[in-house]
Amino acid sequence: MTTKKKQSYSISELAAEFDITTRTIRFYEEKGLLNPSRNGQSRIYSPADRTKLRLILRGKRLGLSLEESRDVIEMYDPAHDHGNKKQIQTLIDKIRDKRQQLRHQLQDIEVLLQELDDAEARLTDAIKDKAS
C-alpha cells in the first residue's frame, strides 16, 4: 500500500507542523514568499508552499535575512535534474559570508570586552586611590 502525499495544507496545519504562529505565516505571505490559493476565506497551501516555508525557517535559523532566503528560494527549478547546483552553491556562499560576518562580530565583541575590563580596572583602582 503506497502512502499518498498530501496535496494541500491549511494555515493551522502548517503552523502546528513548524511550531510557528499563523500570524508568522501570514507575514511571509504578505512579503510575497508564500502564495496560497483561496477557498473562500480559507488559505490553501500547496506542497511547494510547505517546502518554501521550511526553507524560510531554515534560512532564519542560519541567520539569513528574508531577502537572502527569497533569493535562494527563487533559484529553485524543479525541472532541473542536476540538483539545482547553482541554488546550492549560492546557499553555501551565503553561509560562508554569514560565518565570516559572525567571526568579525565576535572579534569586535572580544575587543569591547577587553576595553570594558580595562575601564573597570582603572575605575576600581581610582576608587582605591581615593579611599587611601
Q: Evaluate if pTM is beyond 0.85.
A: no
Q: Is residue 25 part of a domain?
A: yes
pLDDT digits (tens, 9 = 90+) for 50-80: 999 999 999 999 999 999 999 888 887 666 5
pLDDT at 73: 85
Contact 7, 46 (CB under 8 A): yes
Question: Which CATH number does the domain housing residue 5 bear?
Answer: 1.10.1660.10
Across 73-97, average pLDDT: 80
What cell was used for 40?
A: 473562500
Domains in the chain: how many in total? Answer: 2
Q: Is residue 70 part of a domain?
A: no
Q: Is residue 122 part of a domain?
A: yes
What cell was used for 103?
A: 567571526
Task: Let me know whether 4 and 56 are in one domain.
Answer: yes
Task: Let me know whether 16 and 43 are in one domain.
Answer: yes
pLDDT digits (tens, 9 = 90+) for 1-24: 555 678 999 999 999 999 999 999
Question: Three-state SS for 58?
Answer: helix
Cα-based angle 14, 28, 85 (whole degrees, multiple of 5): 90
Q: Is residue 51 part of a domain?
A: yes
Q: Is residue 69 part of a domain?
A: no
Q: Write out the H or E segment, with its range, that includes residue 132.
A: none
